[in-house]
Amino acid sequence: MPRVSRYDWLLLLHLLAAFALMGAVVVSVGVLGATWRTPSARDAIPLLRLGKLGDVLGRIGGVGTIVFGIWLAVDVDGYALTDGWIIASLALWVVGGVTGALVGRTYQEALAGAAGVTLGQTVRSARSVAFHVLQAAAVVGILALMIWKPGA
Amino acid sequence: MSVLPLVLRPDAWDLPLFVHVAGAMVLVGTALLAGVALAGGLRAAGSGQGATLTRFGFRTLLLGALPAFIVMRVGAEWIVSKEDIEDPAWVGVGFITSDGGALLLIAGLITAGIAQKRMGRGDGASGLTRAATILTLVLLAAMLVAVWAMSTKPT
């Protein structure tokens, strides 16, 4: 039986949650790209429904990264929740969570009013694109902070 | 209570590790998205929605998973060359799953590509879509085994 330390298990769970968070970004970007040239919201319905996968991944990833991330920060000698890179990560986590939720709401609006609204008013609006970009930038930024750990 | 010692890696390893992990994360995300889309295409086979989802699944594999796989693999070779490690078991698991994953990805791309083409012409392609779905989900499972091996580094 392979020997695995508690740190490694915590890191695995934290990483799996981070993979889910990045998965949410991949789903958002994929759905946005796929619906970009779709003529109407009705034609985009099967693609917009895939956005629910992003919602689920975002929730799992959001909770998992924060729970296991804080656990790791408390458990590992040398890290503290007051470290600059951890505070910056927490700030980006909030930005990613809020923008991810707004991306999900955009898809729901497009699905709910598929017959009455255009994709330009919902998924392809400048506001929606900004949410997508901010969500992706926040998650990539968190990954960069986790690897470089500036100041650690 | 702090109980685990902090271990910092050399700064020179950070960029290759970032490339490797970012590629792996996008690969897992795209494989999951493609698998769900292909499964949806299979369920709605014979309709316009089935063709839309199968085409999306194929494009996600081609434009998302394939480039992400290359980035992940290049990052893996880069970080291994930096670390100069003596081939422990967890690195072996990583390379085995990566090599096997490449075959699964190529097979999934071919079957999904043919399936979306046939569906676009209105032909039935549920067998091919089913095969592409299974191949993509097995690829996803293999990548998750690799994540386990890379993070827990079992000895």
- Encode pLDDT of A120-133 as tens digits: 778 889 999 999 99
Q: Calculate how close chain B gets to A2, using CA atoms only, in Å.
A: 5
The pLDDT value recorded for residue B1 is 43
Minimal Cβ distance to A3: which of B32, B60, B155:
B155
- From chain B, pick out residues whose CB is under 8 angstroms from the CB of A5: 4
> B6 to chain A: which residues are within 8 Å by CB?
76-79, 152
Beta carbons of B6 and A79 less than 8 Å apart? yes
The reported pLDDT for the residue numbered A138 is 98
Comparing CA positions, the residue from B5, B95, B99, B108 lying closest to residue B62 is: B108
Structure tokens at B155: 């000895």
How many angstroms away from the CA of A18 is the closest CA of chain B?
8
Cβ(B112)–Cβ(B129) under 8 Å?
A: yes
Residues of chain B with pLDDT under 70: 1-8, 86-87, 124-125, 155
Contact B154 A22 (CB under 8 A): no
- Is the minimum CB–CB distance between A43 and chain B shorter than 8 Å? yes
pLDDT at A2: 60
Q: Could you say which of A23, A26, A47 has the minimum Cβ distance to residue B52?
A: A47
Averages of pLDDT over each 10 residues, chain A, 152 residues: 77 96 97 88 87 96 97 89 95 97 92 72 90 98 95 78
Q: What is the pLDDT of residue B60?
A: 98
CA distance A76 to chain B (A): 4
b/e sequence A77-114, b meaning 16+ C-beta within 10 Å: eebeeebebbebbbebbebbbebbbbbbebbebbbeeb
Residues of B in contact with A148 (CB under 8 A): 14, 18
Three-state helix/strand/coil letters over chain B:
CCCEECCCCCHHHHHHHHHHHHHHHHHHHHHHHHHHHHHHHHHCCCCHHHHHHHHHHHHHHHHHHHHHHHHHHHHHHHHHHHHCCCCCHHHHHHHHHHHHHHHHHHHHHHHHHHHHHHHHCCCCCHHHHHHHHHHHHHHHHHHHHHHHHHHHCCC
Nearest chain B residue to A146, by CA: B18
Report pLDDT for A116: 67
